[in-house]
Amino acid sequence: MLNNLSEQIRDCYRHAQDCARKAAEETDSNLKQDFLELEESWLCLARSFKFNERLGDSSDLDPRKSYEFVQSLESFVLDAYRRKIEGE
């Protein structure tokens, strides 16, 4: 897990960009929509990290839990994407 919030924000934007690229390349409408939703989740999470960073340590908000959840969702979609590519 990334420790620095700024590093986490950059990582969220990197994931969002990757999802946008995969959505643009995808021909399956369901997978395309999944990637677009994941992109939005990563962007929302980046905003959450930015908000938390501005609040400082005084906040009880913990976007790291959301980060782990979005990562697991992305993993699920990527598994479906790989299965499609491999023709399963």
Counting Cα atoms < 13 Å in the Cβ hemisphere of 1 gives: 10
For the stretch 43-65, pLDDT in tens is 998 988 887 777 665 555 566 67
Question: 29-33, 38-42, 74-78: which range is least confident on average?
Answer: 74-78
**Residue located via tokens 């479906």:** 80
Average pLDDT over residues 18-37: 94
The pLDDT assigned to 72 comes to 81
Structure tokens that stand for 2 in this block: 């990334």
Q: Which helix (H) or strand (E) holds 82?
A: helix 63-86
Say how far apart CA 74 and CA 14 lie, in whole Å.
Answer: 13
CA-based torsion, 65, 66, 68, 73: positive or negative: positive
